[in-house]
Amino acid sequence: MSQGLDLAVIGSGGAAMAAAIRATALGKSVVMIERGIFGGTCVNTGCVPSKALIAAAEARHTAADTARFPGSPPRPARWTWRP
């Protein structure tokens, strides 16, 4: 391959990372080509943000359920979804 590269990995998601890490561990020279946001689905729109959203929803659910604790009146839910 030109420029002394051994492997071109297209994409930068989990599969691409595994290939690149393995190749570099074997002493190969690797280039990674990404058309979108570096890190792929899991990091940017999949596993990580979805678990953050689930954790936020759980915290919201717990906070809205304060009526079961004496002395903690429930607050009315106010959703905006706007930053």
The residue ranges that bind ligand FAD (CB under 6 A) are 10-16, 33-36, 40-42, 46-47, 50
The smaller minimum CB distance to ligand FAD, of residues 49 and 74, is found at: 49
Between CA 52 and CA 27 the distance in angstroms is 36
- Are 34 and 11 within 8 A, CB to CB? yes
The smaller minimum CB distance to ligand FAD, of residues 29 and 50, is found at: 50
Minimum CB–partner distance for residue 5 and ligand FAD (Å): 16
- Quick check: helix, strand or coil at residue 38? coil
- Output the six-digit token pair for 20: 């690149």
Nearest residue to the partner ligand FAD, using Cβ: 13
The smaller minimum CB distance to ligand FAD, of residues 45 and 66, is found at: 45
- Are 23 and 30 within 8 A, CB to CB? yes
Minimum CB–partner distance for residue 6 and ligand FAD (Å): 19
Minimum CB–partner distance for residue 60 and ligand FAD (Å): 19
Q: Please provide the distance, in angstroms rounded to a whole number, between the alpha carbons at the two ends of the chain.
A: 47
